[in-house]
Structure 1
């Protein structure tokens, strides 16, 4: 019983902290972190690895509840979560192989970069959408079982959290796709040329 309650708290906490907060910070590393490109890339990779570890552990806690693995895959939230963790893991491996490993030619890395950025932002948006469906699923179950009233403070907290996550994701994605950021990411030497 204690582990069931523990998993009910840990799953959403780890998923939001890992996939939304830490992953959002990792996306913004190239924007706000001072230092060389190599340093920014290593911090980005480490933060995304930490986010992935939080996500895997968060899913593990959900699977070790009373219901087991199969019983947890009944909703849109669970299927979106499975797709999200799979894409996130593949994206992390692709980033590690293409950008951290220096064996590939620069031209190959530059061709992969737009896809890496697109899939990263898509996965981040999917993580936020998955969190939103998880919040909706949880509050619907509580309201259906009459554990929580429709116009209660708990409902307001869930709605506020959902709106905050949507706002945060908009800010992160806007910062990541702003034209200034794209020019620095795609053509780092252009910044040096404009300052001359």
Structure 2
């Protein structure tokens, strides 16, 4: 077990920590591979390669960075202040990726004369981003704004935890819908419905890994024995 600079143990087993870290990076790696090997790479010129920024940035931001942020207080062997700073920084990275990813797909639609927000994926995406923004603003005010009273912070902490996991869950669902929608478009365009291509296998594998990441995050966050000692004692920490 590791200890932070205050002598506090990190209770997540090393095998689970390693499994999560490897799994969490894999969807981004595979999405980038999918983009370069099957979809022509990345560009910002209104082409299909312009659209490719959307899945790359959304998976990187809302899956990788968000999951890392959610688990910062479980996995990192450092002080509470450092954990809080990393928690906020990782959320900022997530939000930045999500905003650029949204701009990418909107700009792609604009340049090609496509309509916006007509699919289930786009609706779920908008709800996810709206709740993500609300969660970030509420958390910033509650835990970083000096005028917020301590008892209110303490009472808000469980709400913040549940809302954070809920936003992450919605991001998982939105990603899976988006992957399925994209592969259906590809199959219709290439008339490959009758035979599963290697691209289909890759896309489905990314979806399963994303679902596996959610299971790991949920398991780590839901087990009380994985909490740091100060969290067990009721001190003000973000989970």
Q: TM-score, normalised to structure 2's length?
A: 0.74
1:50 corresponds, among 61, 82, 93, to: 93
Query: What do residues 10-44 of structure 1 show as CA deviations (whole Å, max 9, x unaligned)?
Result: 10000000000011001110011122222211110
Conserved in 2, the CA contact under 8 Å of 1:23 and 1:51?
yes
Question: Separation in 1 of the partners of 2:133 and 2:104?
Answer: 18
1:28 corresponds, among 68, 71, 80, to: 71
1:159 corresponds, among 204, 216, 219, to: 204
Query: What do residues 45-66 of structure 1 show as CA deviations (whole Å, max 9, x unaligned)?
Result: 1101110111011001110014
In the alignment, which residue of structure 2 is the partner of 1:134? 178
1:3 aligns with 2:49: no
Cα deviation for residue 75 of structure 1 reads 0.7
Higher relative contact order by CA 8 Å / sep ≥ 6: 1 or 2? 2
Change (3 A) 1:188 1:7: farther
Question: Separation in 1 of the partners of 2:230 and 2:176?
Answer: 30
Cα deviation for residue 78 of structure 1 reads 0.2
Please give the secondary structure, in 2, of the residue aligned with 1:11.
Answer: helix
> Between Structure 1 and Structure 2, how many residues are aligned?
190
Question: Separation in 2 of the partners of 1:95 and 1:145?
Answer: 44
Change (3 A) 1:93 1:185: farther
Cα deviation for residue 2 of structure 1 reads 3.3
In proportion to residue count, which structure has more helix? 1
1:97 aligns with 2:148: no
Change (3 A) 1:6 1:146: closer
Query: What do residues 49-104 of structure 1 show as CA deviations (whole Å, max 9, x unaligned)?
Result: 11011101100111001446981211110000000000001111111111122321
Query: What do residues 160-187 of structure 1 show as CA deviations (whole Å, max 9, x unaligned)?
Result: 0000000011101211121124574654
